Structure formats: C-alpha cells, structure tokens
C-alpha cells in the first residue's frame, strides 16, 4: 500500500508539471494571438487615453447620459499587456473618490507618487486614515462634506499642502459655515462654498469663487482687494451671495488685465466699493446681481464709470428688460444670449429699466456709440413717457430698434416727429430698421392693436424726411405672411412710407 501511495504521488506531481507546462504554452499562444489582433497595434499613448476615458466614467455625475457599466475597470482584465500598461501608469489612478472607499484604497496604491486629485461628491462619513501617507503629493482637492468630516480630514492629512494648486471646498447648505485655520499659498484655482480659510495667505490666483459667506466668515474688503492685488493673472472671479464687512481701505487702482469674467452678487454698497478701485480688461465680461433701489441709478454702482481700462470695450447694443440691463458688443446678433457678446449685465429683483434709462449717459456710457436698442417684454411699463423720449433723443446714431411684446403707444409716439417745421428735433434721425417681436415668440392681436400706430409713425417720419429703411414683423398675429393679401390697404400704405417691409 505504501508503494502504491508513493506511485500515485509521483503521478500527481508529474501531471501537475505537465499541466503547468501546457498552461504556460497556452498562455504564450494566447499572448501571440492577442498581439496579432488589430487593437494591439494601437500605440501605448492612445491606449492610455482610452483607459483614461474608462476611468472618468467612475466620476460622471448622476443623471448623465453615459450608461453605467457593471464592471467599470474591466479593461484591466482583458489581457496581460492591457493590465501591465494600466497598472504601470500611476496618473491613471490619481483621482481618488472618497465616496467609494473600495476604489479609493486601490487607486491610492496604484497611483504611487503621481500628483493626486481628491474628490467627494457626496457628504458621506469617511475613513481618511489611508490618506495621511499621500498628503504630500495632493495637487487638487474637490470636496463636498459635512463640516465635522472636513475638519477631521484636514486634521489627518496635515496642515501643509505645498503641491496643492486647485482647492474646492463645499459644505451642505443645511450646515453652518466652516472656518478652517489653514493656509494654501500655492493654490491657483480656489472655490469656497460656505467655507473660509486664512485669507491673508492667498496669492497668485487664476480663478476665484466665493459663495455664501456672511460677515463673520467672508474676507473683509481690504482682504478681498489684497487678494486681487496679489493675483494679477486672475482670469475668472465669482463672488456669490457674500457680505464682507464694510471698512475703510486704500483707494489705489488695482489692474486685472487678464480677467475674462467677473460675477458679483452683493448689496450695491459692496459692489460699488469693489468696482471703484478695479480696472478690468476691455475684453472682460462683468455680471452684477444686486437689489438696486427704485430711486437710484447705475451711478450708485459705478461712481467713476464702468470699471474697464482704456480703451473701453466696444459697446453698440443696449438691451433693457424689466429686471435686467445688458450692454452688448458690436458682433452680437439680434436678441443674442451668447456670453462672448456680453460686456456688462445687471440683474435685480426690483425693476431696473428706469434706473438704467436715467443713467445711460456720460461718463458711464457714450450714447453716441449705440446703434441698436432692444426692448424686452414688458419693459416699457416701467419707463415714463418723458424718460423714454429723453433716451431716444440722446440716441442720435441709433440704427436698429427691436421691440418684444410691449405697449407700443409711448414708443411710437416718441418716434413720431411733429409735422411743423419748428417742432422738436427728430428723435433717432438715423433709425433705419424697426423690428417687432422676438423670433421665438408670438405677438397676439398685433394688427388690431398696433398696426394703425405703426402706419401713423411711418407716415410722420416720411413727412419729416427721415423714413424707416425697413419695418419687420416677426410672428405678429394678423401680419403673418399668409394674411398679407387680406391687408392690401394697410401694407400698401406702409410700403409707400418705408423702403422695405418684411413679414416673418
């Protein structure tokens, strides 16, 4: 029996050796077959780009169109080459999502010494012990955490972040604001939502976003201006719902020549204090959100005029809405909403049409440069006849007037000059194009309510030698293309006073 047992052991060992040899042979054959497939001809750099896309799907926000896969890292199991390529590329695993502890542990191992990006899209309870050994090569932090968790995390990873260049910290809105006694002197892109840090150490920023900071947590005006002064390469600034304590400061002008976009949401006094010392690039886009009192004007925001350096931005279009005012560049098409066409906008929870109309003159804005005026829906409700008339008389070079759904009584009355030779000067003498309605809207009962007034205005201007070049009706009920034949008398009269009539 002992002899038989030994023979069986020897046979088992021999078969295992043979199995190992066959497995190695089969593995080599499979490796050669994989190497002959077309996908194996891809350069390693291109293969890594594909893997990077696969990894990025792990961080796609919920609701995105990308279909979630059951095995998101399956590419590491396809072949030996693919696995070795992915595991030998630390940057592929350098984005650590704390909301997924299992992936976070493996990603930290595989990232080795690559610069790390730390993110957390959900305010979950986290185990941050594993982060401490890797704190020295954190380059980007983007966290959405409860205040206690955020304090715990920074206590564990340490106070020094020499390699950190991007920082975004946010606490849930149901939480109170958080003050971190930390400095991040090397950060270049800074976003803080209800979180404050040591403001005096902020410098050399390119992006700055502050949200939801009350007087206790917000940087003071001198501190905020100091950040601007120490960050001459700023390209983007967003100050949303902040209330810095008002205090005295040096009025020295701060130039931001590279700024592309600045958005401020604050009370008028804070906006005025900031913009009175800033000088922005003419190519910058300035957006303001403030509750402007009814009896004020834009000079309360701009005591020294618009904060653009010389030469000022080219502005040719004014758009007035009930709760917003827009100044647009010459390249802007009709009713454009493209950000690149916008030079300045003011939005308010109170009507701002009248304050805007009463302040659109030097030194705020040279009205001689304005060639287009757009009146958004309902804006004429807030502008008295005399103020509207004064505005139109000051627009000596106006060429295009576009009006959305409004009561046209006052505007057509202001554009109709007196028939007597000794009457007042003709408003908007260079006005050539008159357009009614936006392309996407439909203006009901236009023919009945407004066409007779349009005819009377066109006749009056022709009699004074300044006829309209073109009158355009866009989706105006009763003046549609299918109904033009039924209004031969009105259209004939209008064509006799206007060079061109367009019905869209």
217-250 tens-digit pLDDT: 999 999 999 999 999 999 999 999 888 877 766 6
Examine residue 187 and state whether it is found in any structural domain, yes or no: no
CB 163 within 8 A of CB 141: no
Question: Per residue in 145-185, pLDDT tens?
Answer: 888 888 888 887 766 678 889 999 999 877 788 999 888 88
What contacts 20, CB < 8 A, 6 or more positions away? none
Cα–Cα distances in angstroms (integers) from residue 368 to residues 316, 426, 471, 477, in the given order = 9, 16, 23, 35
Nearest of 106, 100, 151 to residue 122 by alpha carbon: 100
Number of domains in the chain: 2
Q: What is the CATH number for 395?
A: 3.80.10
CA distance linking residue 289 with residue 345, whole number of Å: 8
Residue 16 has pLDDT above 80, yes or no: yes
Q: Tell me the average pLDDT of the chain.
A: 86
Examine residue 418 and state whether it is found in any structural domain, yes or no: yes
Runs of H (alpha helix) within 2-138:
2-36, 44-56, 80-87, 101-111
CA distance linking residue 256 with residue 318, whole number of Å: 25
- Categorize the per-residue pLDDT at 119 as very low, low, confident or very high, splitting at 50, 70 and 90: confident
Task: Return the percentage of the chain with pLDDT > 90, whole number.
Answer: 42
Compute the average pLDDT of residues 438-442: 92
CB 435 within 8 A of CB 401: yes
Tell me which residue range forms the domain holding 52. Answer: 43-58+73-88
CA distance linking residue 466 with residue 387, whole number of Å: 22
Half-sphere exposure in the Cβ direction for 63 (13 Å, CA): 0
Q: Which residue's structure tokens are 């502005």?
A: 315
Task: Give me 162's structure tokens.
Answer: 């020499």
Of 15 and 247, more confident: 15
Question: Per residue in 66-102, pLDDT tens?
Answer: 455 567 788 888 888 888 889 889 988 888 888 777 7
CA end-to-end distance (rounded Å), the chain: 104
CA distance linking residue 494 with residue 486, whole number of Å: 14
Residue 448 has pLDDT above 70, yes or no: yes
Q: What predicted TM-score, i.e. pTM, was given to this entire model?
A: 0.83
CA distance linking residue 355 with residue 415, whole number of Å: 22
Cα–Cα distances in angstroms (integers) from residue 74 to residues 81, 137, 473, in the given order = 13, 28, 59
Poorest-pLDDT segment among 128-132, 388-392, 417-421: 417-421
Compute the average pLDDT of residues 382-399: 91
Torsions phi, psi for 298 (to 5 deg): -70, -15
Examine residue 83 and state whether it is found in any structural domain, yes or no: yes
CA distance linking residue 328 with residue 314, whole number of Å: 8
SS3 365: coil
Report the run of H or E that residue 271 belongs to, with start and end.
helix 268-275
CA distance linking residue 398 with residue 145, whole number of Å: 53
Compute the average pLDDT of residues 489-499: 83
Examine residue 231 and state whether it is found in any structural domain, yes or no: no
Sign of CA dihedral 93, 96, 99, 105: positive
Residue 128 has pLDDT above 70, yes or no: no
Q: Which long-range contacts (CB under 8 A, 24 or more apart) does 337-343 make?
A: 339/261, 339/285, 340/285, 342/285, 342/287, 343/285, 343/286, 343/313, 343/315
Tell me the longest C-alpha to C-alpha distance in the chain.
136
Burial of 29 from C-beta contacts in 10 A (0-12 / 13-18 / 19+): exposed
Examine residue 361 and state whether it is found in any structural domain, yes or no: yes
User: What does the pLDDT read at residue 123?
Assistant: 59
Residue 380 has pLDDT above 50, yes or no: yes
Examine residue 240 and state whether it is found in any structural domain, yes or no: no
Nearest of 452, 394, 376, 386 to residue 414 by alpha carbon: 386
Examine residue 393 and state whether it is found in any structural domain, yes or no: yes
Nearest of 125, 118, 122, 94 to residue 108 by alpha carbon: 94
Residue 63 has pLDDT above 50, yes or no: no
Compute the average pLDDT of residues 182-201: 93
Residue 288 has pLDDT above 90, yes or no: yes
CB 198 within 8 A of CB 219: no
Task: Give me 443's structure tokens.
Answer: 């203006």
Compute the average pLDDT of residues 387-414: 93
Examine residue 403 and state whether it is found in any structural domain, yes or no: yes
Runs of H (alpha helix) within 326-431:
353-357, 385-394, 409-415
User: What does the pLDDT read at residue 107?
Assistant: 86
Residue 421 has pLDDT above 50, yes or no: no
* Angle separating helix axes 221-229 and 268-275, nearest 10 degrees: 30
Bridge pairing between strands 138-144 and 178-179: unpaired
Task: Give me 6's structure tokens.
Answer: 């030994």
CB 293 within 8 A of CB 351: no
CA angle 286, 291, 296 (to 5 degrees): 90
CB 330 within 8 A of CB 271: no
Residue 285 has pLDDT above 60, yes or no: yes
CA distance linking residue 28 with residue 23, whole number of Å: 8
The DSSP letter of residue 178 is: E
The DSSP letter of residue 485 is: G
Task: Return the percentage of the chain with pLDDT > 70, whole number.
Answer: 92
Torsions phi, psi for 432 (to 5 deg): -115, -30
Residue 425 has pLDDT above 70, yes or no: yes
């Amino acid at each position: 029996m002992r002899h038989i047992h030994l023979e069986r052991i020897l046979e088992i060992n021999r078969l295992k050796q043979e199995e190992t040899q066959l497995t190695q042979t089969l593995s080599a054959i499979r490796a050669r077959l994989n190497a002959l497939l077309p996908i194996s001809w891809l350069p390693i750099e291109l293969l890594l780009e594909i893997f990077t896309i696969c990894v990025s799907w792990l961080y796609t926000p919920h609701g995105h169109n990308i279909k979630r896969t059951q095995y998101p890292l399956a590419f590491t199991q396809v072949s030996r080459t693919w696995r070795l390529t992915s595991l030998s590329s630390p940057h592929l695993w350098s984005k650590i999502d704390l909301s997924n502890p299992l992936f976070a542990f493996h990603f930290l191992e595989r990232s080795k010494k690559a610069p790390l990006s730390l993110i957390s899209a959900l305010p979950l309870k986290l185990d941050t012990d594993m982060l401490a050994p890797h704190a020295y090569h954190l380059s980007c932090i983007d966290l959405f955490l409860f205040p206690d968790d955020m304090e715990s995390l920074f206590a564990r990873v340490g106070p020094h972040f020499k390699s950190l260049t991007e920082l975004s910290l946010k606490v849930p809105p149901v939480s109170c604001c958080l003050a971190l006694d930390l400095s991040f002197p090397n950060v270049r892109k800074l976003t803080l939502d209800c979180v404050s840090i040591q403001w005096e150490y902020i410098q050399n920023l390119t992006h700055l976003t502050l949200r939801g900071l009350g007087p206790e947590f917000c940087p003071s005006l001198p501190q905020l201006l100091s950040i601007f002064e120490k960050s001459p390469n700023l390209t983007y600034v967003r100050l949303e719902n902040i209330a810095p304590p008002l205090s005295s400061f040096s009025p020295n002008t701060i130039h931001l020549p590279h700024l592309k976009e600045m958005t401020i949401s604050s009370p008028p006094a804070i906006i005025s204090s900031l913009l009175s010392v800033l000088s922005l690039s003419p190519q910058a886009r300035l957006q303001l959100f403030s509750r402007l009192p009814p009896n004020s004007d834009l000079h309360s925001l701009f005591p020294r005029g618009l904060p653009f350096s010389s030469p000022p931005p080219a502005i040719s279009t004014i758009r007035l809405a009930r709760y917003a005012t827009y100044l647009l560049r010459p390249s802007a098409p009709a009713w454009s909403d493209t950000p690149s066409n916008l030079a300045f906008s003011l939005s308010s929870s109170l009507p701002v049409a009248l304050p805007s109309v009463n302040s659109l003159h030097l030194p705020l804005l040279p009205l001689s440069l304005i060639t287009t005026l757009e009146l958004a829906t309902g804006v004429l409700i807030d502008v008295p006849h005399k103020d509207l008339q004064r505005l139109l008389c000051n627009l000596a070079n106006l060429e295009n007037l576009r009006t959305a759904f409004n009561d046209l009584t006052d505007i057509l009355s202001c554009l109709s000059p007196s028939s007597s030779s000794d009457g007042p000067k003709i408003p908007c003498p260079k006005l050539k194009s008159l357009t009614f309605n936006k392309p996407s809207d439909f203006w009901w009962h236009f023919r009945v309510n407004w066409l007779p007034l349009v005819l009377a205005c066109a006749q009056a201007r022709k009699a004074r030698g300044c006829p309209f070049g073109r009158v355009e009706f866009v989706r105006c009920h009763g003046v549609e293309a299918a109904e033009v034949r039924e209004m031969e008398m009105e259209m004939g009269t209008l064509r006799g006073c206007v060079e061109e009539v367009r019905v869209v």
